[in-house]
Amino acid sequence: MIKILPEIQHQITFLVGPTAIGKTDIACDLAEKLNAEIVSCDSMQVYKGMDILSSKPPKVLRKKLRHHLIDIIPATQEYNVSRYRHDALRSIKRILKKGKVPLFVGGTGLYMSILIDGIFNLKAKNKDIRAKLSQKAQNLGSHYLHERLKKVDPQAASKIHPNDTKRIIRALEVFQISGQPISKLQNVRHGLAAKFDINIFCLNMERHKLYQRIEKRVDKMFSQGLLQEVKQLLKLKLSQTARFAIGIRELKGYFEGRYGVDEAKRLIKKNTKLYAKRQLTWFRKDKRIKWIKVSDNEKPKEVSERIWKELY
């Protein structure tokens, strides 16, 4: 066993970035250098039956190197940030107990944020208040509620999109229950940053090169049996979260005969590129991130070596 350097015993590293950039191979090489176990930071890899759809690391690789939070629930179950935080913290304890280092790998920025900074933990809920707010949203639109939120909590309103009805309702519900803005209450939280030294590395590359990789990955997914996998998934009553996986909606249209397989493939490529763009937008907001520019012909081992040098 590789001995952990004293300076990394109290560190947790995050390797994040857009889809298809090559996080898996880079992370595996970095994990060997760190004597780490990998914890998935991906909102879809938790689901069983989404191997191709969520581009999970191959099972051979997972046998060689311990991965956590992959294939932990059926696609019929809901999964959220609160549940992820609970599962991830438990994984961290197990990894540290072995004398190893947790290495988080994925592209779900929200999951990363709630782990590092903590999660808002006001458990108070009021079904009546929520029902009334939901009714107003239906009758008057989410923009009407967003204007209300601006008056009681301008800070929260500036961060929540006017079309994000669910979060707007929650913010107003919290204000009515507690009498305090949700933005103020959210500041009273503790995450990993309070206990560990956190290192965040985000991979990036020239946009057109990333898009080429996305195109190739989607083609490969189809050759690996994506149609059959999604066909099986569509037989289930997918959870609200699982049905948002890119490929579900696009292939549903194909199976329903609304367009051909080429159009379904085009839509998956298009929506995956848009998702990658959103991922990068999210990560750019976090000033703690160290950016790692990856060239198209650079080997995973070379990239992991650069990250290792950044760390130590």
Domain boundary, last residue among 186, 205, 237: 186
Band of pLDDT at residue 190, cut at 50, 70 and 90: confident
* pLDDT tens column, 125-183: 788 888 999 999 999 999 999 999 999 999 989 989 999 998 999 889 888 887 878 88
> Is the confidence at residue 1, as pLDDT, over 60?
no
Domain containing 78 equals 8-118+192-311
Helix (H) or strand (E) holding 277, with range, is: helix 261-284
CB atoms within 10 A of CB 24: 18
Q: Is residue 94, in this structure, part of any structural domain at all?
A: yes
- Domain shared by 223 and 104, yes or no: yes
Burial label for 107, CB within 10 Å (0-12, 13-18, 19+), is: buried
Asked whether residue 220 falls in the same domain as residue 173, the answer is no
What number of other Cβ atoms are within 10 A of residue 97's Cβ? 8
Q: Is residue 284 part of a domain?
A: yes
* CATH code (residue 181): 1.10.20.140
- Euclidean distance between the first and final Cα of the chain, in Å? 19
Kindly state whether residue 111 falls inside one of the protein's structural domains: yes
Q: Is residue 2 part of a domain?
A: no
Instruction: Determine the average pLDDT of the residues in 298-310.
Output: 96
Question: CB under 8 Å, gap of 24 or more: what pairs does 90-98 form?
Answer: 91/37, 91/39, 92/12, 92/39, 92/192, 94/68, 95/36, 95/37, 95/39, 95/68, 98/37
Q: Which of 186, 207, 223 is the last residue of a domain?
A: 186
pLDDT in tens, 103-123: 999 999 999 998 998 876 666
Q: Could you tell me if 100 and 236 lie in one domain?
A: yes
181 and 224 belong to one structural domain: no
Same domain, 168 and 202: no
The answer to whether position 219 is within a domain reads yes
CATH number at residue 48: 3.40.50.300
Claim to verify: residue 176 and residue 198 sit in the same structural domain = no
Q: List, edge to edge, every strand of the sheet that includes 11-16.
A: 67-68, 36-40, 101-106, 11-16, 197-204, 290-293
> CA-CA-CA-CA torsion for 163, 166, 170, 173, nearest 10 degrees?
90
Structural domain total, the chain:
2
Do 98 and 80 sit in the same domain of this protein? yes
d(CA 33, CA 29): 7
What is residue 5's predicted lDDT score, i.e. its pLDDT?
41
- Are residues 105 and 135 located together in one domain of the fold? no
In this predicted structure, the answer to whether residue 189 has a pLDDT above a threshold of 80 is no
Query: Do 149 and 237 belong together in one domain?
Result: no
Of 166, 186, 206, the position where a domain reaches its end is 186
* 212 and 305 within one domain: yes
**76 and 168 both lie in a single domain:** no
Q: Are residues 262 and 291 in the same domain?
A: yes
